Amino acid sequence: MLVSANFSRHLALRLRPFRAGVDLLPLRKWGWGPHRYPVCTAFVRRITDKDAMKDMMMWRKVLAVPAVVALALGGALLTTGAAHAAEDTLTVTSPTPDAALTSRTVLFSGTGSDGSTVNVLDDDGDRVPGTEAAVVVDGTWETTGIYEESADVSQTVMINQVTGGSGAGEETVTFTLPPAYNFAVLTPAEGQTVLARTVVFGGTGTDGSTVNVLDEDGNRVPGTEAAVVTDGVWATTGTYTEDDEIDQTVSVNQVTGGAGRGEQTVSFKLPPTLLPAPVILAPKAGQALTGPAVTFSGTGTPGENVVLAVAPTALVNQPQSLTQEMPADPEDPILVGSDGTWTVTLALDPEDYTAVAVLVELSEDGSLITVRSDVSDPVQFTLAAAPAPAPTPVTPAKPAASGGDKLAETGLELNALGLGGVLALAGVVLLVVRRKARLS
């Protein structure tokens, strides 16, 4: 049985007459009860000795404690008179229950009784770092806590109000802190079937950090590097062989200042075994061209579509620049003729360019389904403006195919794919250039 004591007053407890056979509950052990009032545990002893009972009857005032005590004894209620605990007026308005916060600096606020103090405690009963015993003024209170980067995302706090030395309300609030880091994997997406066995891993992160792409054994995926985050973006390219399983899972982690700052697991599928890469025969590597257009030609598997990617060489050497706008219409799908050749003419501005080609599968409306081959060897060339022509009409160059086969009707709209799409497709046909250049 529990006896509660409110230590706001000194009162004398008077006992009613005992009868033989009634249980006496002497006070034995003090502790804490509901609302954090001190309580004592009482143990039962039965009185059967009438003489002893008479002796006990002589003690009318048996206990003086600074308390309001209510004791149920063998069905008889013993009390000390009226007393009142402080009124519970505490409310918490911020943070709201189960709130997902956007900052690790957290405002705790609410309402209460003027002059009271409010404490914000963590799961261990310690004051949340940064907070103070907030005094209620004009019915409101507030205090600010600061959570370190190492603090768990899920948090629970106990907020209590103390009025005149007594507890006057307690609330428990659970909320979620934001991650202490900026990190995300944008490509490949979870469950995606990637375009080729040359896979671009890319996403966002904290500038200056490094990002590692590891296989299920904890080893770096072949071809990838510790990618440095620049302007909030990172990218690295991995190469899977024909013998690798179609189902793949990688663990991608970010390291900032020597400490882990984010990890994400991504599962994806590789395409089936690839066809041989197409070959670019013209222009030749290192060739210097002039004019408003360039004619490309090469070989490939008959009946397959070719995507030719032509981009400024400086863009190829800076993967993070792939998030910027691509050159206008750099890709035109071309159907390889029955003789195994293909050709296309593109209007280009003067620039130093790198071109690569790849076989793809297209839907009926010309949308990309998957990459069907390895990427061709890159061809780097320069294009200079032609001398000023004589004032005669000029007809713009148009794409054309060899062998009498019709070109695919629609191009590939990279600019509508967003960051992840650009890294996935443009990366396949451009970032591989860097890898092949290092191997040559």
What is the overall mean pLDDT for the chain? 74
**180-222 pLDDT tens trace:** 778 899 999 999 998 788 899 999 998 899 999 999 999 999 9
Share of the chain above pLDDT 90, in %: 43
Q: Can you tell me the mean pLDDT for 84-92?
A: 81
Q: Is the pLDDT score of 431 beyond 80?
A: no
Ordered structural domains, the chain, with CATH: 2-78 (no CATH), 91-176 (2.60.40.10), 184-269 (2.60.40.10), 279-387+397-439 (2.20.130.20)
Task: Look at residue 82 in the predicted model and tell me its pLDDT.
Answer: 41
Q: Is the pLDDT score of 39 beyond 70?
A: no
Confidence of residue 23 (pLDDT cuts 50, 70, 90): very low
**299-309 pLDDT tens trace:** 999 999 998 88
Q: 0.75 exceeded by the pTM?
A: no
Our CA dihedral for 28, 30, 31, 32, rounded to 10 degrees, sits at 120
Q: Can you tell me the mean pLDDT for 277-287?
A: 96
**210-256 pLDDT tens trace:** 999 999 999 999 999 999 999 889 999 999 998 999 999 999 999 98
